[in-house]
Amino acid sequence: LLLERDYFVTPPDGCRLQNITLCQSSSNPPINCPDSNWYQPPLPVNQMIDGILYPGQLTSNDVQCMSDAWSAFGACTETFCRRLSEAETQTSVIMSIPYIISAVLSPPLGYMIDLYGMRAVISAIAPMVLIIVHLFLGLTTVSPIGPLIGQGLAYTGFISVLWPSVPLVVEKRSVGLAFGIVTSMENLGDAVLPLVVAAIYSYSDNKYIPNVEFLFASLGVLGFLVGLYMNYYDFGHHSVLNRAFVPPVESTSV
């Protein structure tokens, strides 16, 4: 997603090599192309690479950067493969933001939830934040750092209230079964959702933007509606989820 959107962007129409039949070099530079290194460099036409003739315009799908014939120093697509490698490195760093946030904030947030409750409230706020995050990623060109910080905060909030809520709403004798069902549903989603994303990606001419982001935003809407109902239901049942933890009163022997 971030390669397509931010760090290995397809160049605009008109971006080409000065001589389209020759590989990029200091004597055959790109013209009418963005200065940013986060754009794909233009590719030549009619090239013989690794003993194979590629007639017509060379495309990104043709380039095999794992092979030295394409990526080694002096190769025709050396610049293309170098930029792709740099883009993948940058994307890996940016994509780590939500997980770093979760690793750092989950313990203190869990402690605050123990003190003040608001589990159902957070379960509604988290998907609302995800709606905003995915709409920003799908419809704007803002830096992905801000949305991914939002994604990290939403994930941290949701995961910090999901598991502690289970023992609050089921009988003690069924807690293990309840955790098993929640885990099963989570894994089912992890198994099915990539298949849906792949289908949407293929249907959208091998592009993530914007349709895949619309899918995630739609799931956020569904989660937000469930969160609203959860708060409504919880309010009518003694605010079991939203109240703070109340330690049991220890009986004293006389």
CB 145 within 8 A of CB 93: no
108 sits in which H/E element: helix 97-116
Check: CB of residue 9 under 8 Å from CB of residue 40.
yes
What is the full DSSP assignment across 151-188? HHHHHHHHHHHHHHHHHHHS-GGGHHHHHHHHHHHHHH
Burial of 87 (C-beta count, 10 Å sphere; 0-12/13-18/19+): buried
User: Can you give the pLDDT of all 254 residues of the chain as single tens digits?
Assistant: 999 999 999 999 999 999 999 999 999 999 999 999 999 999 999 999 999 999 999 999 999 999 999 999 999 999 999 999 999 999 999 999 999 999 999 999 999 999 999 999 999 999 999 999 999 999 999 999 999 999 999 999 999 999 989 999 999 999 999 999 999 999 999 999 999 999 999 999 999 999 999 999 999 999 999 999 999 999 998 899 999 865 554 555 54
Cα(139)–Cα(210) distance, rounded to whole angstroms? 7
Distance CA 240, CA 59 (A): 58
Closest CA to 158 of 58, 251, 227, 235: 227
